[in-house]
Structure 1
């Protein structure tokens, strides 16, 4: 399941990246395009991180990744989703959600670090 979710994230990241580069190019302001670009970068980085977690759990099935995966995935939805909405012209109030998403992504990686310190085979 983790590998499939990671692959879906990466496919969506390519789709929204292409849409931003081609579909929004002449329709959005420079600020909106910047939000879109930032969102897509973070989407790719964290989707690749989720892929690494999925590979890790295949190699070491008993390694606990569930909480990290869920925190990071939820962070992607909040962080990237809010920036994508603003990039599409929705009100800037959605920017208040962005730091929540960033915090969730950070917590996901810190949770992974915590589990890595505690993990014994």
Structure 2
């Protein structure tokens, strides 16, 4: 688990750079301005959480289930949030919007919020 977390963080980071470049160059011609902004939001959130996963992977000892839950929230939440946005944008640009992805984005966002809440709790619990 200890090496898997920074690996996933690095993978998410690498994909964020690739998707960001793809969006800025290849998709700029086919996406509307709104779709491009949504796509960029997915890339930003993916990169923020990629960096966070690398940092947590090297700082957590994974001695508690709380640390594991935090990391799972960030891995799963990022995947659901960002990749559902990518799917929505790409499918809409092709004229066949995958509507089932719409509810997945806020679920991913909620899981990210839970991860941040658990991380905050871990800091508070350590002080108390």
TM-score by length of 2: 0.82
Report the counterpart of residue 38 of structure 1 in structure 2.
41
Query: Is this contact kept in 2: 1:71–1:107, CA < 8 A?
Result: yes
Between the two proteins, the alignment pairs up a number of residues equal to 118
Structure 1 residues 83-92 or 35-44, which shifts more?
83-92
Verify: 1:71 aligned to 2:78, yes or no: no
Corresponding residue of 2:118: 111
**TM alignment of 1:1-121, pairs within 5 A:** 1-57=4-60, 60=61, 62=63, 64-90=66-92, 91=97, 93=99, 94-119=101-126
The separation in 2 between residues aligned to 1:61 and 1:42, in whole angstroms, is 24
RMSD over aligned CA atoms reads 1.9
CA distance in 1 between counterparts of 2:62 and 2:111 reads 24
Q: Distance in 2 between matches of 1:33 and 1:96?
A: 19
Q: In structure 2, what is the Cα distance between the partners aligned to 1:47 and 1:101?
A: 15
Q: Secondary structure at the match of 2:91?
A: coil
Dislocated runs of 4+, deviation >4 Å: none
TM score, norm. by length of structure 1: 0.86
What secondary structure, in the 3-state scheme, does the structure 2 residue paired with 1:117 have? helix
Gaps of 5+ in 1: none
Q: Secondary structure at the match of 2:28?
A: coil
Structure 2 unaligned segments of length 5 or more: list them: none
